[in-house]
Structure 1
Amino acid sequence: MTLDTLLDRAVVPGYTKLGYAIRSRTWPKNDPAPDSLTGKTAVVTGARTGLGKATAAGLARIGATVHLAVRNAEKAAPALADLQREVPDATFVLDECDISDLDSVRAYAATITSPVHALIHNAGVMPPKRTESAQGHELTLATHVLGPLLLTDLLRDRLTTGRVILVASGGMYTQPLPKDPEYQDAPYKPATAYARTKRIQVALTPLLAADLTPTFVACMHPGWSETPGLTDSLPGFTQLTRRLLRTPEEGADTTIWLSATNPRPPTGKFWHDRRSRPTHYFNLTQESPEQRDSLWRHCRTAAGIPD
């Protein structure tokens, strides 16, 4: 067993800044190259804080024009100003899109007319109680699965040679595919709802990749990174692990790498720290191809994507 694999299986050291520090020593120093995305467009959802903001800065540093897709443009104005100071030669565009609201997604997709090189589905939520989206879907499902599927489908003609990356979570390893994706039949648990929808993202990634060929599709998890979302949703965990948490920049590294590295990695895989990873560590979380196909059809129908 390699040190990298040992770190991954041990979870705690691999997901923390220690795992990043050890693995990053082996990465080529010029990958991605400083001009990798010059002249190309990237869209990052949930770009106001944390991983999304760090991803936007990282993509801009290698030349991309970065669209910050946020729920509230007024609240995101300070983040835009921060990014402009951080990467002064870059071009940032502030866009308003509530990824959980399918009508907002449709309206936003209609405004994007040029080719998109990188579409980063980073937006995330963990409401303390079961909450519904504008269309009546459970909010974590709408934010992490339905909205991203719809936006990707609406932009498929602009993504032909591009890359789609879904930001998941290592917490998905604890959950199987849910039989009740809308979380209607059991007492609601925020962390479970979050992990279940991240499991859905991982399970559907190969199907999305096949549907979008030749577009590249990947899912990744960033490890444990100190972000406002983590602090707000899991304050006890954040306090306990603060000295071990990665910076947002470390957490965003693999997203940026997947967006720009050459040659392009294989599509349809799950990644962490620039390497593809197993999608299951426990037999109890395994799903069948029939279960994946059924959930794929369910989510596409719920998102309003035609067959």
Structure 2
Amino acid sequence: MLDRGIVGGYTKLGYLSRRPGWTGDRADPPAGALHGRTALVTGASSGLGEATAIGLARLGARVHLLVRDADKGEQIRRRVTGAVPGAAPRVEVCDVGELADVRRFASDLLARVPELHLLVHNAGLLPDQRRETSEGNELTLAVHVLGPHLLTALLRPALAAAGNAALAGRSNGATHAGGDSRVLFVSSGGMYAQPLKDDDPQYREGRYNGTAAYARTKRMQVALAGEWARELAGTGISVHALHPGWAATPGITGSLPGFARVVGPLLRTPEQGADTAVWLAGAPARAIGTGQFWHDRAPRPAHYFPHTRETPAQRARFWAQVQRLAPRHDPATA
């Protein structure tokens, strides 16, 4: 009922009303739950990314902060270490929307990080007009869908190594607070208004609207997470999508100033918005499974309206399109 009312569920009202009921497997992960585990957070320079990085560091994770700007990365590194004394986050520089840069970065990271326990796809933007990357992809599609897809595919060996180690530990009777390795897609409740646009992923048809493009690609993220969950079933890698509710982040205040002014007092803090991502990172594996859409530590429906429900054939076409648009190898050098 809170979510159907939107304001009650997506603002801090929903967070504060639900939090007292978070017990058992939905309770806060214990201190040190991610000790010895490695996490990569994209879009880590502010807002939800910064709050997620701090939350993971507080649980003991070794956090890699993926940013586009090295100077901003150094600023966030200092903020994380200030918030979590003893943490040693590492700044990584990559433009997630540029696939060639994703390939470069992934190759470099694999050489340095043999096991990756957590990959958080948080990087996002809401453009005011249609733009394309240097490779000809519509910008929101590139940043929200193609880059994350390619990064997941390229980092699969490190994720699998961490997942296999967790599976071996469980089979030997050991316990891992975080369980398997995990991939998280930070989507948005705005995706509920949009169907899966498998017929026009690049938003070339009709009049472009930045808010609609954002919501479309956030819907795509949920579909992509589901396809990756099926692809990785049984590998020790679980995949999840989530939405953070409405949080007071630079993305909201900068891209939707009118909305921020109206809803401002009810917006969640970045920490409240990042809560489900941090919880998913440290929750027991038995509590989360794989392939679900989460909000406030609970699985939620991926659709509320019949007209937004995609068919299995649409999901298959979408998966094939993403693989074609974001190949593992640079087509120019293949």
| TM-score > 0.5 by shorter chain | yes
Q: Of 212, 216, 220, which residue of structure 2 is paired with 1:196?
A: 216
- What is the CA-CA distance between 1:263 and the residue it aligns to? 3.3
| Residues 1:273 and 2:296 are matched in the alignment | yes
1:274-289 map, 5 Å: 274-289=297-312
SS at match of 1:110: helix
Q: Counterpart of 2:168?
A: none
1:55-74 map, 5 Å: 55-74=52-71
Q: Counterpart of 2:238?
A: 216
Q: Of 188, 195, 200, which residue of structure 2 is paired with 1:169?
A: 188
The runs of 5 or more residues in structure 2 that have no matched partner are 164-180, 330-334
Letter in 2 for 1:195: A
Q: For the residues of structure 2 that align with 1:116 and 1:164, how far apart are their CA atoms? A: 10
- What is the CA-CA distance between 1:88 and the residue it aligns to? 1.4
CA contact (8 A) 1:100 1:134 kept: no
Q: For the residues of structure 2 that align with 1:304 and 1:106, how far apart are their CA atoms? A: 10
Q: For the residues of structure 2 that align with 1:192 and 1:208, how far apart are their CA atoms? A: 24
Q: Counterpart of 1:49?
A: 46
Q: For the residues of structure 2 that align with 1:44 and 1:295, how far apart are their CA atoms? A: 25
- What is the CA-CA distance between 1:149 and the residue it aligns to? 0.3
Identity of aligned residues (%): 50
Summarize deviations over 1:116-150 as a string: whole Å, max 9, x none.
11100000011111011121100000000000000
Q: For the residues of structure 1 that align with 2:140 and 2:129, how far apart are their CA atoms? A: 11
Summarize deviations over 1:43-76 as a string: whole Å, max 9, x none.
0000000000000000000000100000111122
CA contact (8 A) 2:225 2:240 kept: yes
Letter in 1 for 2:182: R
- What is the CA-CA distance between 1:175 and the residue it aligns to? 0.4
| Residues 1:24 and 2:19 are matched in the alignment | yes
SS at match of 2:21: coil
Q: Counterpart of 2:324?
A: 301
- What is the CA-CA distance between 1:79 and the residue it aligns to? 1.6
Q: For the residues of structure 1 that align with 2:328 and 2:115, how far apart are their CA atoms? A: 21
SS at match of 1:219: strand
| Residues 1:77 and 2:74 are matched in the alignment | yes
Q: Of 206, 223, 228, which residue of structure 2 is paired with 1:186?
A: 206
Q: For the residues of structure 1 that align with 2:72 and 2:273, how far apart are their CA atoms? A: 23
Q: For the residues of structure 1 that align with 2:279 and 2:28, how far apart are their CA atoms? A: 8
Summarize deviations over 1:18-48 as a string: whole Å, max 9, x none.
1000111111385311111101100000000
Q: Counterpart of 1:3?
A: none
The runs of 5 or more residues in structure 1 that have no matched partner are 1-5
CA contact (8 A) 1:64 1:91 kept: no
- What is the CA-CA distance between 1:13 and the residue it aligns to? 0.6
Q: TM-score with structure 1 length normalisation? A: 0.96
Q: Of 8, 12, 32, which residue of structure 1 is paired with 2:7?
A: 12
| Superposition misfits of 4+ residues, deviation over 4 angstroms | none
Q: Of 103, 106, 111, which residue of structure 2 is paired with 1:106?
A: 103
| Residues 1:234 and 2:229 are matched in the alignment | no
